[in-house]
Structure 1
Amino acid sequence: MLTLLKNAQLYAPTSMGLCHLLLADRRIAAVVSAEREAPALGMAVDEIDLEGRRVIPGLVDPLVHFIGGGGEGGFGTRTAELTLDDALASGVTTLVGALGTDALTRTPANLLGKARELAAGGLTTYCYTGSYQLPPVTLTGSVGSDILFIPEFIGVGEVAISDHRGSQPSPFELARLASEARTAGMLAGKSGIVFIHTGDAPSHLEPLRAASRDSAIPLAQFLPTHINRTAELFEDGLRFAREGGRIDFTTSTTAELLAGGEVPASEAVARALHARVEPSRITLSSDANASLPRFDAERRFVGLEPGRLSSPFEVLGECIDEHGIAWETAIGVASTHAADALGLSTKGRLAPGHDADLLILAEGEWSIDEVWALGRRVYRRD
């Protein structure tokens, strides 16, 4: 199947000006400046004139709770599964699923099944083995064999540190887990990333520093999220990134979280860049369909709201429109850098040989007209 998208104002994420994109089945076959004649293919091709609309890579989200999350307030507070319709309209074309707090009533098998359901709908999906707690729950008996033998499992997570709901892992346990994931990843041609849930305890990111300091594991083997959840954690995250680590800001939020000191994700990106954090060290994730719980001073549950998969696209717009961040930089944070951290070499860029995952934006407003995933239109706004 050949598709020619003509006259796209292309951000790949670098601004390429007006271009024609040739899609061959699932991949981008060619990108040609519109100053040149569109390719004459001499064969059947579906031509679509975008008339100068902006085109950006599909977003890459390193933390989505495909089968829901939470339940910290009892069974009545379990969040719902992600629906295919919501996923297709979100602008996220590559999603990584995780279990989170509940690895008792939700399992790696459930997670993998849901990943394959979403993939059957046209998206690209991966998973983390494990959950908040150690020892990790797995499908095959170990983190290493899950990563090595199951195509969708690319790492382990989200393992909780500095949080009262985690298993309080020692630096030695974290280093050992990272070593297993890293080695299996090398054998399987995957990143073996260790995705970390970071709570609001004063220890912040120190467990990761200690794990790296006392072992041969590089800081960048860990990807800690929720770094914008408190002002203190945010500042520690900036230091962590300058030390060679990566940091992930959560785009889903609530009024209560913001009132409690959370740094809005777009502001966090702008402040991190102003603090001279290398942009490639920064990613965004939605925490979609997780619970965003509220606890009182004694850590008792008082309520929750679910995370939203549409939030990364919204935050990307805020980065550009409200904080004046260059398109190339902002798109990198929302797509390219996560693809690199996760070892997804065909994601996060619009270039020949890469997957044809792209968003066609509306004219004159920050919204999505069309989503294309693996060379096929999967969403069109009514």
Structure 2
Amino acid sequence: MLTLLKNARLHAPEPRGLCHLLIGDGRIAAIAAADDAGEPPAHGPAVTVVDLEGRRVIPGLVDPLVHFIGGGGEGGFGTRTPELALDEALTSGVTTLVGALGTDALTRTPANLLGKARELAAGGLTTYCYTGSYQLPPVTLTGSVAGDITFIPEFIGLGEVAISDHRGSQPSREELTRLAAETRTAGMLAGKGGIVFIHTGDAPGGLEPLREVARHSAIPLAQFLPTHVNRTAELFEDGLRFGREGGRIDFTTSTTPELLADGEVPAARAVARALEARIEPSRITLSSDANASLPRFDAEGRFAGLRPGRLASLFETLGECVEGHGVALDKAIGVASTHAADALGLPQKGRLHVGADADLLVLAEDAWSIDEVWARGRRVHRRA
């Protein structure tokens, strides 16, 4: 069966005007401008026709950090955060998710992570995972980072490795270099991105450990994707320098009033400021940190409370970029979808071109909200 989406005001992410999209086998088979002479690209009894009536259509969002199986535990077992529910994921606007372990790699394991990824994939989403953990040596399924990336389809990189954080293993330059090289090589062998996803804490040093790797090895800065770069004003400024030096920077969309009061730069504002600072847009991404704990610690590093991250915060931040900070929609889509897909080595995601996966959002006419979510060519959510 084929599906014809008629009269979509397409942002691919570049604006393409009113278009018809033909979907087959989960991918976009053809795109035609609606004002072209003649009929849409296909019609007949084997084609399901859906008229979108001029509503905006954008690529499904790509989230490079989701804690599928929950996180937390920094305040004891009673502070563990829950797993991501499929229903919540399907309505969020995120159609491609990458799962990671958090602080706890003892009671939560790569096997749990992989099983949950496959559960969400069975529900219609596209899911991947990072092998490894906050702490070193990294926990794996096959016994090595390279083995997991090479032999397990869902594992596309290493993460979330912690630097500049009191909960991490305080990795040396040599350890980070070896792991980055192993991840990079395995990604090449398996035809994957081989990204090293980095949790950045607010301790002194910031992103300097990654610069040290690049200075003393052949590993490029862009092999790393450091997140939480908006968590403090100091780290944000360090992130801008990192972006100018050729590195990627990822802003976290989930937040709390306490984090904002402590100096976190709201993610939409961080995007706008980074673009104003003329950081190359392709180096800027967003992630939700969904279902992770967003903990607070006192001046002596003692746990003071937490809230869970939210997957829906990614779409909300996209709207804040556009409606609150004047970021052009195509640029905002880039940071919420296209750039992460490129960093992760997923060229079929984050864009709506012929041959790309048919992951798309149909936006409401009268508000920043989602009317429909399509994942791999199938409508998985429709607002009542």
Question: Same fold per TM (> 0.5)?
Answer: yes
Match of 2:27 in 1: 27
Residue from 363, 373, 376 that aligns with 1:374 = 376
Letter matched to residue 331 of structure 1? I
Match of 2:263 in 1: 261
CA contact (8 A) 2:177 2:213 kept: yes
What is the CA-CA distance between 1:167 and the residue it aligns to? Answer: 0.1
Following TM superposition, the consecutive aligned residue runs of length 4 or more in structure 1 with deviations greater than 3 angstroms are 40-43
Letter matched to residue 8 of structure 1? A
What is the CA-CA distance between 1:226 and the residue it aligns to? Answer: 0.1
Question: Secondary structure, in 3 states, of the residue corresponding to 1:133?
Answer: coil
What is the CA-CA distance between 1:38 and the residue it aligns to? Answer: 1.0
Match of 2:249 in 1: 247
1:152 equivalent in alignment to 2:159: no
What is the CA-CA distance between 1:91 and the residue it aligns to? Answer: 0.2
What is the CA-CA distance between 1:100 and the residue it aligns to? Answer: 1.2
Q: State the alpha-carbon separation in 2 of the partners of residues 304 and 374 from structure 1.
A: 35
CA contact (8 A) 2:4 2:42 kept: no
Match of 1:191 in 2: 193
CA contact (8 A) 2:30 2:41 kept: no
In structure 2, stretches of 5+ residues that fail to align are none
Letter matched to residue 356 of structure 1? A
What is the CA-CA distance between 1:41 and the residue it aligns to? Answer: 4.0
Alpha-carbon RMSD: 0.6
Residue from 53, 56, 59 that aligns with 1:54 = 56
Q: How does 1:1-382 map to 2 (within 5 A)?
A: 1-36=1-36, 37-382=39-384
Q: State the alpha-carbon separation in 2 of the partners of residues 372 and 41 from structure 1.
A: 20
Letter matched to residue 349 of structure 2? K
What is the CA-CA distance between 1:25 and the residue it aligns to? Answer: 2.0
Q: State the alpha-carbon separation in 1 of the partners of residues 322 and 331 from structure 2.
A: 9
Q: State the alpha-carbon separation in 2 of the partners of residues 321 and 41 from structure 1.
A: 37
What is the CA-CA distance between 1:43 and the residue it aligns to? Answer: 4.9
Q: State the alpha-carbon separation in 2 of the partners of residues 56 and 167 from structure 1.
A: 40
Q: State the alpha-carbon separation in 2 of the partners of residues 41 and 368 from structure 1.
A: 27
What is the CA-CA distance between 1:212 and the residue it aligns to? Answer: 1.1
Q: State the alpha-carbon separation in 1 of the partners of residues 110 and 262 from structure 2.
A: 33
Question: Secondary structure, in 3 states, of the residue corresponding to 1:35?
Answer: coil
Q: 1:98 to 1:52 in 2, by over 3 A?
A: same
Letter matched to residue 366 of structure 1? W
Question: Secondary structure, in 3 states, of the residue corresponding to 2:307?
Answer: strand
What is the CA-CA distance between 1:42 and the residue it aligns to? Answer: 4.6
Q: State the alpha-carbon separation in 2 of the partners of residues 44 and 380 from structure 1.
A: 23
Q: State the alpha-carbon separation in 2 of the partners of residues 41 and 221 from structure 1.
A: 45
Q: State the alpha-carbon separation in 1 of the partners of residues 262 and 51 from structure 2.
A: 47
CA deviations 1:207-241 (Å, max 9, x no partner) are: 00001111100000000000000000000000001
CA deviations 1:306-340 (Å, max 9, x no partner) are: 00000010000000001110111000000000000
Q: State the alpha-carbon separation in 2 of the partners of residues 40 and 159 from structure 1.
A: 48
CA deviations 1:20-43 (Å, max 9, x no partner) are: 000002000011000123124455
CA contact (8 A) 2:231 2:259 kept: yes
Letter matched to residue 26 of structure 2? R
CA deviations 1:77-135 (Å, max 9, x no partner) are: 00000000000000000000000100000000000000000000000000000010111
CA deviations 1:281-306 (Å, max 9, x no partner) are: 00000000000000000000010000
Letter matched to residue 105 of structure 1? T
- Report how many residues are paired: 382
Q: State the alpha-carbon separation in 1 of the partners of residues 41 and 344 from structure 2.
A: 34
Question: Secondary structure, in 3 states, of the residue corresponding to 1:322?
Answer: helix
CA deviations 1:243-279 (Å, max 9, x no partner) are: 0100000000000000000000000000000000010
Larger CA deviation: 38-47 vs 108-117: 38-47
Q: State the alpha-carbon separation in 2 of the partners of residues 329 and 73 from structure 1.
A: 39
Q: State the alpha-carbon separation in 2 of the partners of residues 171 and 325 from structure 1.
A: 37
TM-score norm. by structure 1 comes to 0.99
Q: State the alpha-carbon separation in 2 of the partners of residues 99 and 381 from structure 1.
A: 32
CA contact (8 A) 2:60 2:93 kept: yes
Q: State the alpha-carbon separation in 2 of the partners of residues 205 and 40 from structure 1.
A: 52
Q: State the alpha-carbon separation in 1 of the partners of residues 21 and 282 from structure 2.
A: 26
Question: Secondary structure, in 3 states, of the residue corresponding to 2:326?
Answer: coil
Question: Secondary structure, in 3 states, of the residue corresponding to 2:35?
Answer: coil
Identity among equivalent pairs (%): 81
What is the CA-CA distance between 1:172 and the residue it aligns to? Answer: 1.1
Q: State the alpha-carbon separation in 1 of the partners of residues 25 and 233 from structure 2.
A: 46
Q: State the alpha-carbon separation in 2 of the partners of residues 39 and 254 from structure 1.
A: 47
Question: Secondary structure, in 3 states, of the residue corresponding to 1:151?
Answer: coil
Question: Secondary structure, in 3 states, of the residue corresponding to 2:97?
Answer: strand
Q: State the alpha-carbon separation in 1 of the partners of residues 365 and 292 from structure 2.
A: 32
Q: State the alpha-carbon separation in 2 of the partners of residues 216 and 111 from structure 1.
A: 31
What is the CA-CA distance between 1:184 and the residue it aligns to? Answer: 0.4
CA contact (8 A) 2:24 2:377 kept: yes
